[in-house]
């Protein structure tokens, strides 16, 4: 850890004060002793990643199994639709709540919904007629997730210096996705010899315990106003605005920085593709242990994808930030077509009517290696997509309050897309229809983002771009 902290300080110090803008920022002395480690931005973003390791990480491991690990995916698809519908609504106001309550309390309020959601699947395993409980818990989780992800996004983008944002996003994304990796490994190990179509109670109980641990981790995090970045600048000052002023900030953000609108299609598609990947591919044509292994490699590849684009591309300080933005956009856009052209040749071989447990692909089948590599590339695309989206928002401002509003927009619009496609899956829309719509929306999201990258991303964040 000490080496990582030293390296982060080295990276953060590469820019001079004169390069950061026309107004010289106030520089603070970094704390000494154990406080230097505790209040270091790298440690705090790591703790933030650990919160998401325990809660959204376990949710991802469960979702990645297809149908929440159940034989029939209807309850999970309807619960996901309810989840993202409430997420979409509350996401627009979660930035406001985060600014008023503070990120630590917002994180804690957001974590407990994941425990409730996983407990609902345990209830279904015990009592099969408890499907309504799953849907209700999904709706509650949507409210909690809006709070958690808004607090997470604002902190993750505010802790680093401008030269570190891609690296910090990569650090967070790697720790967060370790949750999916560990959860998938647990599910795979416990169900490796299972001939049933759903996971056992032990898997759900293990996930539930981990999410409950995640509820208490925010208690050990530092308040952001006590954090000093590696270049000596303070993250944020204490703000106590009125609720009315905070609600106005949603509309002020759109008025003062309208370029964010061009990212809305990218936001819309950013969770849309999970439905086909998890339910209509992994959940549709694989055995339960193959689903578990697919899930494991999917989340593992996310770690490498986020670190690759975050550290080696978006934070390559020898290259101007605008150039890095164009390179990142090109890589993600190319990956969209690589994985979807590949997936199309698989999707055209099956439909909802032709899939059955008797035809599921097992890990020992000859066709399995090629199919699992597609899951790996989908994991790379997802991590690169999300990291690039966060990096673009971070390039627009360094102000915690403004980033909270941007993240609220991101998660709300993202959830609108997810709610619609999960409902489409729940009512049995053909797999091919969902797949084609996913391909079109991801390509369109990148095309709409290009003018914003070209006109809005600057080599350094200017003073007028900072606050609301």
The 10s digit of each residue's pLDDT in 358-416 is 788 999 999 999 999 999 999 999 999 999 998 998 888 877 677 777 877 887 788 89
- The predicted model gives 72-88 an average pLDDT of 87
Token pair, residue 75, equals 């309850």
Q: Is the pLDDT of residue 239 over 80?
A: no
- The predicted model gives 38-58 an average pLDDT of 93
Distance CA 280, CA 435 (A): 9
Give the residue, 444 or 90, on which the prediction is more confident.
444
Fold of 33-224: Growth Hormone; Chain: A; (1.20.1250)
Angle subtended at Cα 48 by Cα 142 and Cα 187, rounded to the nearest 5 degrees: 65
Going from N- to C-terminal start, the domains of the chain cover 33-224, 253-467
Distance CA 327, CA 322 (A): 9
The 10s digit of each residue's pLDDT in 422-456 is 999 989 999 999 999 999 999 999 999 999 999 99
- Domain 253-467 in CATH 1.20.1260: no
CB atoms within 10 A of CB 400: 22
The average confidence (pLDDT) of the chain is 85
Strands (E), 219-325: none
Helix axes 74-101, 103-126, angle to 10 degrees: 160
pLDDT value, residue 371 = 97
Are domains 33-224 and 253-467 of this chain identical in fold? yes
Q: Is the pLDDT of residue 119 over 70?
A: yes
Residues 6+ apart with CB under 8 A from 72: none
């Amino acid at each position: 850890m000490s080496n990582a902290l030293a390296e982060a300080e080295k990276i953060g110090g590469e820019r001079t004060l004169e390069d950061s803008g026309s107004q010289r920022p106030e520089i603070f002395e970094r704390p000494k002793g154990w406080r230097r480690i505790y209040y270091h931005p790298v440690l705090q973003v790591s703790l933030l990643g650990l919160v998401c390791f325990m809660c959204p990480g376990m949710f991802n491991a469960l979702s990645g199994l297809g149908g929440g690990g159940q034989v029939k995916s209807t309850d999970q698809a309807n619960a996901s639709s309810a989840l993202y519908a409430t997420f979409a609504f509350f996401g627009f106001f979660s930035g406001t709540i985060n600014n008023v309550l503070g990120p630590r309390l917002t994180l804690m309020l957001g974590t407990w919904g994941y425990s409730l959601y996983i407990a609902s699947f345990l209830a279904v395993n015990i009592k099969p007629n408890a499907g309504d409980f799953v849907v209700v818990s999904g709706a509650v989780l949507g409210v909690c997730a809006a709070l958690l992800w808004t607090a997470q996004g604002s902190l993750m983008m505010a802790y680093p210096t401008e030269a570190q944002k891609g690296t910090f996003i990569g650090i967070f994304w790697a720790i967060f996705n370790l949750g999916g990796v560990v959860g998938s490994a647990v599910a795979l190990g416990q169900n490796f010899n299972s001939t049933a179509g759903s996971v056992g109670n032990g898997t759900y109980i293990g996930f539930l315990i981990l999410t409950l641990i995640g509820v208490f981790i925010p208690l050990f995090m530092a308040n952001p106003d006590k954090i000093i970045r590696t270049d000596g600048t303070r993250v944020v000052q204490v703000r106590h605005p009125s609720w009315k002023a905070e609600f106005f900030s949603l509309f002020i953000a759109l008025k003062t920085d309208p370029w964010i609108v061009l990212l809305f299609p990218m936001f819309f598609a950013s969770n849309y593709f999970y439905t086909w990947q998890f339910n209509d591919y992994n959940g549709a044509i694989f055995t339960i242990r193959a689903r578990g292994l697919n899930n494991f490699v999917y989340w593992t590849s996310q770690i490498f994808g986020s670190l690759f684009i975050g550290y080696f591309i978006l934070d390559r300080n020898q290259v101007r930030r605008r150039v890095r933005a164009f390179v990142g956009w090109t890589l993600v856009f190319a990956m969209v077509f690589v994985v979807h052209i590949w997936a199309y040749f698989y999707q055209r071989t099956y439909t909802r009517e032709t899939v059955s447990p008797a035809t599921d692909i097992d890990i020992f089948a000859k066709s399995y290696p090629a199919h699992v590599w597609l899951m790996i590339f989908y994991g790379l695309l997802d991590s690169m997509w999300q990291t690039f989206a966060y990096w673009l928002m971070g390039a627009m401002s360094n102000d915690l309050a403004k980033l909270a509003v941007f993240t609220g927009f991101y998660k709300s619009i993202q959830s609108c897309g997810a709610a619609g496609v999960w409902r489409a899956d729940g009512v049995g829309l053909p797999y091919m229809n969902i797949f084609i719509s996913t391909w079109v929306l991801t390509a369109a999201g990148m095309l709409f983002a290009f003018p914003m990258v070209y006109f809005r991303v600057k080599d350094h964040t200017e003073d007028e771009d900072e606050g609301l």
